[in-house]
Amino acid sequence: MGLAQSTEKPLKVLKNISKGQKEELNYSLKVHGSDLPLLLSPLILRERGAGQVDLAVLKKSQDWQVILYEIKSSGFITRGQYERLRKTASFVSKIFEASTSIRVIGPKELGIAKDKKLN
């Protein structure tokens, strides 16, 4: 059985979302179109002192792999945020008995041009 096709265009209902949410939505359409979407409960993650993730997918190569995506228009995450994401990766890895990786998606992957200062 193949992967379900994601919608090509965001719903019109989502007009009033923030810039970050738009970036996350657009990138999720790319990621979820090729891999199996994984929904992780932020409540369960917070109960364990772990960080919530922007996107998560299951990917099958030789073995199953979980990929956690953190989308940042700045391209940077804080040390604390990284530690919480590591806790999330560890927890998810145990649950699914699969290797887990964290990917930070920055401006280049999002197609955001850096503002240049004019002198």
Q: What pLDDT digit, counting tens, does each position of 56-74 carry? A: 999 888 888 999 988 887 7
pTM over 0.85: no
For the four alpha carbons of 60, 62, 67 and 73, in that order, the dihedral sign comes to: negative
SS3 content of the chain, % helix, strand, coil (to 5): 40, 20, 40
- Matching residue, tokens 């979302």: 17
Identify the CATH class of 18-109. alpha beta
The tokens for 97 are: 């008995």
pLDDT of 88 higher than 90: yes
